[in-house]
Amino acid sequence: MYPDLKGKTVIITGAATGIGKACALRFGQEQANVVINFHSDKQVKETEEMIKEIKNSGGNAIAVQGDVTKEGDIKQLIEKTISEFGSLDIMINNAGIENEVPSHELTLDDWNKVISTNLTGQFLGCREAIDYFLEHDIQGAVINMSSVHEIIPWPHFVHYAASKGGIKLMTQTLALEYAPKRIRINSIAPGAINTPINAEKFSDPKQKEGVLKLIPMGYIGEPEEIAATAVWLASNQASYVTGLTLIADGGMTLYPGFQAGKG
């Protein structure tokens, strides 16, 4: 637990499912004020349940619908946060999408959708949060949800890999730019995590087996294991950490083919 997170206000985008949801619940356990951004009308019920759970654990929460690709929605997300909780301390740009297509068949529409959600959406979240921190002299923290695919090339997912590669240098550039203001900007690179984005892939035993072979620790990660890295990065325990990609991947980026000298 991180006592300094108590009473802090955190926005998490794409927080009705998966890693974002686990982060929201964990910040709730830390007794923070949690703003759950969600995208689809179908997620309203889920966010209502989450608000109850967060309040039961001693935190506070609201849900705000919005599309991270829309500048106006991100501005409104910040405005609603301030009007409800009076401030903003931590911004977690988590919303992301992917779809599998051989690159020579990838439409411009699909390319644009992934880039605008995963990269432009995260940029807008960074920009608006940093602008607020500067205006109010807040030494805030930003966390961007990247992926091991900011390092590992991924055939059939060129738009996804390009978006995550973009997040790496966006995070480092912003970290350098705002370090003098003590605004910390970091990212997290999860490996294969058990969330809806992977539901189809992991429901096929053959595909799941294939993924497991790439993970030296031998299991698919749980979203709570990523949330645990997010609360640390947001807390004062990480006060001197900026521009970092924190990799949480069970060893996936350690060249698993070389395990036991078999490479």
**Interface positions with ligand NAD (CB under 6 A):** 13-14, 16-20, 39-40, 67-69, 94-97, 117, 121, 145, 147, 190, 192-193, 195-198
Residue 39 vs 168, nearer CB to ligand NAD: 39
The answer to whether 13 and 125 have CB atoms below 8 angstroms apart is: yes
For 66, 77, 78, 120, the CA distances from 83, given in Å and listed in that order, are: 16, 10, 9, 25
**Which H/E stretch holds residue 26?**
helix 18-29
Nearer to ligand NAD, 196 or 210 (CB): 196
Q: Establish how many alpha carbons lie within 13 A of residue 74's alpha carbon, considering only the half-sphere containing its beta carbon.
A: 23
Question: Smallest distance, Å, CB 260 to ligand NAD?
Answer: 25
Catalytic residue among 2, 160, 178, 240: 160
Rounded CA-CA distance 223/159 in Å is: 23
Alpha-carbon distance of 83 to 37, in angstroms, equals 15
C-alpha distances (whole Å) from 49 to each of 3, 7, 10, 46, 66 are: 25, 21, 18, 5, 18
Instruction: Provide the minimum distance between the beta carbon of 7 and ligand NAD in the complex, in angstroms, as a whole number.
Output: 26
Q: Smallest distance, Å, CB 109 to ligand NAD?
A: 14
Q: How far apart are CA 191 and CA 253, in angstroms?
A: 8
How far, CA to CA in Å, does 217 sit from each of 47, 146, 225, 253? 32, 20, 13, 11
Single-letter amino acid code for the residue at 252? M
Catalytic residue list contains 255: no
Burial class (CB in 10 A: 0-12, 13-18, 19+), 212: middle
Minimum distance, C-beta of residue 137 to ligand NAD, in the bound complex (Å): 29
Residue 50 beta carbon to ligand NAD: minimum distance, rounded to whole angstroms: 11
Catalytic residues: 160
